[in-house]
Structure 1
Amino acid sequence: MTAPNTPNLVHGGLVLIDPATSAVQRVIALQYNPNTLTRSLQVHGAGKDTADRSEVLRLTGPPTETIKLEAELDAVDQLEFAPNGASRVGIFPQLAALETLIYPTSAQLSANHAREQAGTLEILPMETPLALFVWSAQRIVPVRVTEFSVTEEAFDASLNPIQAKVSLGLRVLTIDDAGYTHRAGSLFMTYLQQKERLAATNPPAGLDALGITGIP
């Protein structure tokens, strides 16, 4: 966790947008930037499950990228600002903002119940806003929350949580998940193109850097 007295010029966080219009619905900035971010990429190779040797170098699509982080929440820094409610409800608002990422809205649940009562034969699963994980201007990726856990560590006299750690697991959405025409697909392509531009700026190395003069 970044020290409370250290100014954070840029915060990581999540942005919820309308997948059809790209209108920003909500911005969730992390109170403190975690010191670590864990990412894993699972390769999708054509030769993985086949004996066809001609497929050994082929890729079937983008890798499955997952992101894990632990965010810390603390009401202490907010207690001096009474209007924000921290003195009355602790960090419940921050927790609720994160937790509602994985809930359908009460309005959606009520609407589906009304459809069931009316005898609607097919009720579609409820759609959430598109979540974007933002970790600097170079990393804006469409994601889906796959893991969520909260450890509440301290409480006030009314048992409102005032300190907590939230562990988030995110899965990057690719064109394989959303297609090219969906907003998530276009944002993924922008993310991939940014990777390619950054890779192109990496200084090239010669074979001598590896202690060899040529390929046998």
Structure 2
Amino acid sequence: MSTFPGSPKLLQGTLMTLALPSKKVISTISFQYNPETVSRTLQIQATQNEGGARSEALRLKGAPAQTLKFDLEIDATDDLEKADRTAVKLGIYQQLSALEDLIYPDVEQVKKNISNLGKGMLEVIPTEAPLTLLIWGKQRKLPVRITDFSVTEEAYDINLNPIRAKVSLGLRVLTYDDLPTSHQGSQLFLNYHQNLEKLGRK
């Protein structure tokens, strides 16, 4: 990357989690390296035209179901060369833990559920996860759910801490059809939709 003083600053892709309804930021994970490619698939949400009614042929039930797939590279080499304390002690275990934590329920809620089960409660309500956002440039701030998560650890230090890895992520974009209208994620997707339409119809 150019170090020329006038060169534009490279934006880093980010995964962010928010506690609702307070909107307090729980975690911010900026990608060490932006993925070279992002695969996006959009499944059209058309009405079922089983009866053959011509008036239904062009109707849409809502926004398309969008999925994204990309790989993240995490490497501690530079930090190890600088003798960074966290890298020397843990390698990239902290970065991997931050990503993996996105797909786990809150541990305090898990403890509470276990306690309730021990007291004879027959039904425990599944824990609601924080709102996860994918921030990819200025035009895309999307509420998402992680649907696929795989890690290939490629190198380790002498203590078997991973020092280089590839994380493959699959995300499903959450729309106003998935969330209550008052939900922050619903409003964020509506903003994205409005901006997309504005840009597409210029």
Tell whether the structures are fold-level matches, with TM greater than 0.5.
yes
Distance 1:52 1:82 in 2: 69
Deviation at 1:89, TM superposition (A): 1.3
- Quote the residue 1:155 is aligned against: 156
Q: Is the 8 A contact 1:47 1:53 kept in 2?
A: no
Matches within 5 A, 1:5-20: 9-20=10-21
- Quote the residue 1:125 is aligned against: 126
1:148-187 superposed Cα distances (whole Å, 9 cap, x missing partner): 0000111112211111000000000011110211111111
Deviation at 1:83, TM superposition (A): 4.7
> Identity percentage over the alignment?
47
- Quote the residue 1:44 is aligned against: 45
SS of the residue corresponding to residue 176 of structure 1 reads coil
- Quick one: structure 1 residues 47 and 187, their matched pair in 2 at CA, closer, same or farther if it must change by over 3 Å? same
Tell me the number of residue pairs that the alignment of Structure 1 and Structure 2 aligns: 198
After alignment, is 75-84 or 13-22 more displaced? 75-84
- Quote the residue 2:197 is aligned against: 196
After alignment, is 35-44 or 152-161 more displaced? 152-161
- Quote the residue 1:211 is aligned against: none
Distance 2:82 2:50 in 1: 59
- Quote the residue 1:176 is aligned against: 177
- Quote the residue 1:164 is aligned against: 165
1:43-95 superposed Cα distances (whole Å, 9 cap, x missing partner): 01114555322211000111100011100000002114445410121110000
Distance 2:51 2:137 in 1: 40
- Quote the residue 1:27 is aligned against: 28
Distance 2:66 2:50 in 1: 20
- Quote the residue 1:206 is aligned against: none
TM-score where L is the length of structure 2: 0.91
Matches within 5 A, 1:109-124: 109-124=110-125
Distance 2:128 2:83 in 1: 36
SS of the residue corresponding to residue 178 of structure 1 reads coil
Distance 1:192 1:70 in 2: 25
Structure showing greater Rg: 1
TM-score where L is the length of structure 1: 0.86
After alignment, is 94-103 or 113-122 more displaced? 113-122
1:64 alignment partner AA: A
RMSD of aligned alpha carbons? 2.0
Q: Is the 8 A contact 1:47 1:57 kept in 2?
A: no
> What residue ranges of structure 1 are gaps of 5+ in the alignment?
202-216
After alignment, is 76-85 or 151-160 more displaced? 76-85
Q: Is the 8 A contact 1:71 1:167 kept in 2?
A: yes
Q: Is the 8 A contact 1:19 1:184 kept in 2?
A: no
- Quick one: structure 1 residues 175 and 50, their matched pair in 2 at CA, closer, same or farther if it must change by over 3 Å? farther
Distance 1:59 1:139 in 2: 23
Distance 2:60 2:192 in 1: 18
Deviation at 1:15, TM superposition (A): 0.7
1:162-216 superposed Cα distances (whole Å, 9 cap, x missing partner): 1100000000001111021111111110110110121133xxxxxxxxxxxxxxx
Distance 2:200 2:81 in 1: 46
1:199 alignment partner AA: G
